[in-house]
Amino acid sequence: MTFTAKDKASILVEALPYIQEFYGKTIVIKYGGNAMINDELKEKVMQDVALMKYVGIRPVIVHGGGPEITGFLKKVGKQSSFVAGLRVTDAETVEIAEMVLDGKVNSEIVNLLNHRGVRAVGLSGKDAGLIQARKKLATVYEGDTSRKVDIGYVGEVEQVNTSILEDLLDQDYVPVIAPIGVGQDGESYNINADYVAAEIAGALQAEKLLLLTDIEGIYRDFHDKDTFISTLHLPEARAYIRDGVIAGGMIPKVEACLTALDKGAGKTHIIDGRLDHSIILEIFTSKGIGTQVVR
Ligand SMILES: Nc1ncnc2c1ncn2[C@@H]1O[C@H](COP(=O)(O)OP(=O)(O)O)[C@@H](O)[C@H]1O
Ligand SMILES: CC(=O)N[C@@H](CCC(=O)OP(=O)(O)O)C(=O)O
């Protein structure tokens, strides 16, 4: 398809109301492991973040890196297992997760953004006590009942120290956050990045939380493309988790939307990170993409 000059102009003009609406607002992006699989896609995500920044939005990135952790664990002969979408994390695994997330994935994103002229600063939840955490038990639903399972050094966010983030945002930096929390005794916790993004979006009273993933959004039956859900309200979302319509890695994502909305974020969106420029398509076009989870 070729675009005329008029088409190009109208695409830019379509973005204008959104640029005005989001100017000076904070948007939290959860950039997931499955949406980082190739360099070309990474580059497009970085371009989107740069564009947001340069039209006056305050982006905050929380990244995952699940596939990278799984890959590294495999290299050292460790199998990964998950309960309700959360990695079972023993003492050795939490060390490896911290090394991969903070040492590798975080610095790579920071580097790519800096290369694009965006002043990015990498943080883990340990920096300036950004993410205070405590142990989290996984919840397994079985029909009408549920039970809690101990999955090791997996944490949940107790408190977010927003002052470091506010300072960085006020000084025009883009914070890039690895999902590692710190416990009362300085111990590290592996936290699902969706939950971290949710807590950060809530604590910053962000305009939006965007969760990038490896599927178009939420389906009533994800094997049937005709069952796509564009808008999901809180009560339905809770029922879908309970009934198993939403399963596996989608559970933390939808729970993240619920938490962010409860804590004061404006809107939440689950979008396809495999799609080129999914972020700007969601923010700057009238139709948007993906599933929005709203109050
Ligand atoms: N109702 C649903 N709609 C869409 N995806 C679902 C649903 N229930 C479970 N899933 C699964 O959740 C996956 C997304 O979670 P995950 O792979 O962990 O994402 P990420 O790696 O991006 O954090 C989808 O690829 C799909 O297999
Ligand atoms: C407890 C838990 O499951 N932590 C995740 C942290 C990384 C993550 O969330 O990465 P993605 O967003 O790429 O899935 C993990 O160990 O895989």
Q: How many CA atoms lie within 13 A of 88 on its CB side?
A: 9
For residue 62 and ligand 1, the question of a CB distance below 6 A is answered with no
User: Looking at residue 47, what is its pLDDT?
Assistant: 95
User: Looking at residue 117, what is its pLDDT?
Assistant: 94
Pocket test for ligand 1, best of 63, 209, 211, 215 (most atoms within 8 A of CB): 215
For residue 215 and ligand 1, the question of a CB distance below 6 A is answered with yes
For residue 275 and ligand 1, the question of a CB distance below 6 A is answered with no
Q: Is 87 annotated as a binding residue?
A: yes
> Taking residues 91-119, what's their average pLDDT?
97
Q: Does pLDDT of 219 surpass 80?
A: yes
Q: Is 77 annotated as a binding residue?
A: no
Query: With bands split at pLDDT 50, 70 and 90, how would you rate the model's confidence at 144?
Result: confident
Topology classification of domain 25-294:
Carbamate kinase (3.40.1160)
Q: Does pLDDT of 1 surpass 90?
A: no
User: Looking at residue 109, what is its pLDDT?
Assistant: 96
Beta-carbon contacts of 255 under 8 Å, excluding residues fewer than 6 positions away, are: 194, 195, 198, 241
Q: Does pLDDT of 34 surpass 80?
A: no
The structure tokens 């408190």 sit at 159
Torsion of CA 153, 157, 158, 160, to 10 degrees: 130
* pTM for this entry: 0.95
Domain residue spans in the chain?
25-294
User: Looking at residue 66, what is its pLDDT?
Assistant: 94
User: Looking at residue 260, what is its pLDDT?
Assistant: 98
Query: With bands split at pLDDT 50, 70 and 90, how would you rate the model's confidence at 31?
Result: very high
214: CA distance to ligand 1 center in Å? 7
For residue 250 and ligand 1, the question of a CB distance below 6 A is answered with yes
For residue 219 and ligand 1, the question of a CB distance below 6 A is answered with yes
Residue type at position 18: Y
Q: Is 295 annotated as a binding residue?
A: no
User: Looking at residue 82, what is its pLDDT?
Assistant: 95
| Ligand 1, atom 9, residue with closest C-alpha | 247
Q: Does pLDDT of 99 surpass 90?
A: yes
> Taking residues 124-150, what's their average pLDDT?
93
User: Looking at residue 248, what is its pLDDT?
Assistant: 85
Q: Does pLDDT of 287 surpass 90?
A: no
User: Looking at residue 285, what is its pLDDT?
Assistant: 86
User: Looking at residue 2, what is its pLDDT?
Assistant: 79
User: Looking at residue 37, what is its pLDDT?
Assistant: 77
Task: Indicate left, alpha or beta for 10 from its phi (over 0: left) and psi (-120 to 50: alpha).
Answer: alpha
Pairing of strands 188-190, 228-229: unpaired
Q: Does pLDDT of 143 surpass 80?
A: no
Query: With bands split at pLDDT 50, 70 and 90, how would you rate the model's confidence at 36?
Result: confident
Pocket test for ligand 1, best of 62, 240, 250 (most atoms within 8 A of CB): 250
For residue 141 and ligand 1, the question of a CB distance below 6 A is answered with no
Q: What's the ipTM?
A: 0.95
User: Looking at residue 67, what is its pLDDT?
Assistant: 93
Q: Does pLDDT of 49 surpass 90?
A: yes
| Ligand 2, atom 6, residue with closest C-alpha | 192
Query: With bands split at pLDDT 50, 70 and 90, how would you rate the model's confidence at 10?
Result: confident
Atom of ligand 1 nearest to the CA of 34: 21
> Which residues approach ligand 2 with their CB closer than 6 A?
32-33, 64-66, 69, 86-87, 97, 154, 179, 190-193
Query: With bands split at pLDDT 50, 70 and 90, how would you rate the model's confidence at 216?
Result: very high
241: CA distance to ligand 2 center in Å? 19
**Residue in 57, 50, 60 with CA at minimum distance from that of residue 23:** 57
Q: Does pLDDT of 35 surpass 80?
A: no
Q: Is 106 annotated as a binding residue?
A: no
> Exposed (0-12), middle (13-18) or buried (19+): which is 141, by Cβ within 10 Å?
middle
In Å, how far from its chain's centre is CA 131? 15
203: CA distance to ligand 1 center in Å? 25
User: Looking at residue 26, what is its pLDDT?
Assistant: 98
Give the model confidence (pLDDT) of 238-280 as tens digits: 999 988 899 888 988 999 999 999 999 999 999 999 999 999 9
253: CA distance to ligand 1 center in Å? 8
